[in-house]
């Protein structure tokens, strides 16, 4: 075994069914007496308001995708006006992103309750958008102190959002396997995460509220989120980041379209990662199999279905080529353009 560096992330995680009932006790454990609840929609915030009880001093249900700085400023005004001493976020990556942005400015403790498979809850990473440009930063300040995974809260996530969000999660584990700072601990999480997601996502078509399937999907997402937190992501994430920031494409759906193509691009130089993925999936070509999960569940497989214009293929190619970064296969403008064109059209990678 080669020498390696493993960076663990200090967070407290509760995982199970009905675990959201522990929210008041966990708020108290953080030492908070005046928390602001943040969410993307009022109904989600209201779901936990009564559980948090008298420690809730307000609700802000205006979180949106890609964490625009204007929304953060409005939420921060609520934090200061209410004298909040902590944040409780319930929802997908958008609600958690807002919570992290508040923590970046205030260093307030966060308790987050994810309801999608995006994985932001486990990372010290914050992505923010300002005037069409998305930037990311790493800071220990934004890592949530406590995470409550409650499987029951994921039953309501619609099929296409569940599967695209699950492929978004899988992308964290896939890219961790060939990261420049990969290590054996993360490889183990990645393989287990991919296997759990690969088994569970196709079964959601039959029953969105099958507890065993939802447990496995959320567990796989958690393991994959640990991979995202501890390694550096490659081409796939940079492409999605550019598509999300510049064209405001939806996060999970963009990941679901791009992953098979980014994986096919890197396949020739990632033998070890490919064999781990094949083992986790029980054989076959990983890129094609991920594409099939999306297609069979009715998830869009082309960027054009997400609203991207054909003329943007060149815009995105130039943006990706403008900022070089480590990737198993060096970036070549012509091949990157073909990758984006294939992802735009929605062809199955071969
Ligand atoms: P999201 O949070 O915007 O949620 C998508 C939609 O699903 C929303 O309409 C939301 O209200 C709804 N929803 C969420 N949970 C639901 C449930 N259980 N039932 C029914 N509806 C539900 O989308 P997302 O994909 O979870 O998160 C995307 C955001 O997260 C992006 O801004 C992305 O940059 C960020 N993100 C950050 C990191 C990180 O480490 N910094 C990691 C992953 C994602």
pLDDT of 53? 95
* Shortest-distance Cα residue to atom 6 of ligand 1: 92
Instruction: Say how many Å lie between the CA of residue 120 and the centre of ligand 1.
Output: 9
pLDDT tens across the length of the chain (350 residues): 889 999 899 999 999 999 999 999 999 999 999 999 999 999 989 889 999 999 999 999 999 999 999 999 999 999 999 999 999 999 999 999 999 999 999 999 999 999 999 999 999 999 998 887 788 999 999 999 999 999 999 999 999 999 999 999 999 999 999 999 999 999 999 999 999 999 999 999 999 999 999 999 999 999 999 999 999 999 999 999 889 888 989 999 999 999 999 999 999 999 999 999 999 999 999 999 999 999 999 999 999 999 999 999 999 999 999 987 789 999 999 999 999 999 999 999 97
Interface predicted TM-score (ipTM) over 0.95: yes
- Ligand 1 nearest-atom number relative to CA 122: 40
Instruction: Say how many Å lie between the CA of residue 184 and the centre of ligand 1.
Output: 29
pLDDT of 132? 72
Instruction: Say how many Å lie between the CA of residue 89 and the centre of ligand 1.
Output: 12
Q: Which of 114, 117, 118, 170 to mutate to test the pocket of ligand 1 (most atoms within 8 A of CB)?
A: 118
pLDDT of 116? 98
* Shortest-distance Cα residue to atom 27 of ligand 1: 93
- Ligand 1 nearest-atom number relative to CA 65: 32
DSSP 124: S
- Measured over the CA atoms of residue 222, residue 226, residue 229 and residue 234, the dihedral's sign is negative
* Shortest-distance Cα residue to atom 29 of ligand 1: 93
Instruction: Say how many Å lie between the CA of residue 269 and the centre of ligand 1.
Output: 32
Q: Which of 67, 91, 171, 175 to mutate to test the pocket of ligand 1 (most atoms within 8 A of CB)?
A: 91
pLDDT of 323? 82
Instruction: Say how many Å lie between the CA of residue 157 and the centre of ligand 1.
Output: 10
Q: Which of 11, 95, 97 to mutate to test the pocket of ligand 1 (most atoms within 8 A of CB)?
A: 97
Instruction: Say how many Å lie between the CA of residue 156 and the centre of ligand 1.
Output: 13
- Residue 242's alpha-carbon distances to 77, 132, 156, 203, in angstroms, are 30, 10, 30, 31
Pocket-forming residues, ligand 1, beta carbon under 6 Å: 40-41, 65-67, 91-95, 97, 115-116, 118-120, 123, 125-127, 153-154, 156-157, 161, 165, 228, 251-252
Which residues in 80-217 belong to E strands, given as ranges?
86-91, 110-114, 125-130, 133-138, 146-150
DSSP 283: S
Q: Which of 20, 45, 101, 120 to mutate to test the pocket of ligand 1 (most atoms within 8 A of CB)?
A: 120
* Closest to 80 measured CA to CA, from 105, 47, 63: 105
* Closest to 170 measured CA to CA, from 145, 199, 137: 199
* Shortest-distance Cα residue to atom 25 of ligand 1: 252
Q: How far apart are the first and last CA of the chain?
A: 33
Residue 219 near residue 173, CB atoms below 8 Å: no
């Amino acid at each position: 075994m080669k020498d390696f560096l493993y960076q663990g992330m200090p967070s407290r995680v509760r995982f199970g069914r009905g675990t959201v009932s522990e929210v008041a006790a966990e708020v108290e454990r953080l030492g908070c007496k005046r928390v602001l609840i943040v969410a993307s929609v009022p109904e989600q915030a209201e779901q936990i308001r009564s559980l948090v009880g008298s420690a809730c001093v307000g609700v802000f249900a205006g979180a949106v995708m890609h964490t625009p700085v204007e929304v953060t400023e409005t939420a921060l005004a609520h934090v200061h006006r209410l004298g909040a001493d902590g944040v409780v976020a319930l929802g997908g990556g958008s609600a958690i992103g807002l919570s992290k942005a508040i923590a970046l400015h205030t260093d307030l403790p966060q308790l987050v309750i994810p309801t999608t498979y995006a994985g932001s809850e486990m990372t010290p990473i914050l992505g923010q958008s300002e005037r069409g440009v998305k930037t990311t930063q790493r800071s220990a300040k934004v890592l949530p102190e406590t995470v409550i995974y409650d499987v029951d809260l994921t039953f309501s996530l619609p099929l296409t959002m569940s599967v695209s969000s699950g492929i978004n999660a899988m992308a964290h584990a896939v890219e961790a396997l060939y990261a420049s700072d990969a290590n054996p601990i993360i490889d183990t999480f990645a393989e287990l995460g991919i296997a759990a997601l690969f088994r569970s996502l196709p079964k959601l078509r039959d029953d969105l509220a099958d507890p065993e399937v939802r447990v496995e999907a959320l567990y796989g997402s958690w393991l994959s989120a640990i991979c995202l937190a501890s390694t550096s992501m490659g081409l796939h994430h940079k492409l999605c980041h550019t598509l999300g920031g510049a064209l405001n494409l939806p996060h999970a759906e963009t990941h679901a379209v791009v992953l098979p193509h980014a994986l096919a691009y890197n396949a020739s130089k990632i033998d070890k990662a490919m064999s781990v993925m094949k083992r986790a999936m029980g054989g076959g070509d990983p890129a094609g199999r991920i594409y099939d999960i999306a297609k069979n569940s009715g998830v869009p497989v082309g960027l054009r279905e997400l609203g991207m214009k054909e003329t943007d293929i060149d815009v995105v190619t130039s943006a990706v080529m403008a900022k070089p970064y480590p990737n198993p296969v060096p970036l070549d403008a012509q091949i990157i353009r073909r990758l984006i064109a294939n992802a735009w059209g929605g062809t199955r990678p071969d």
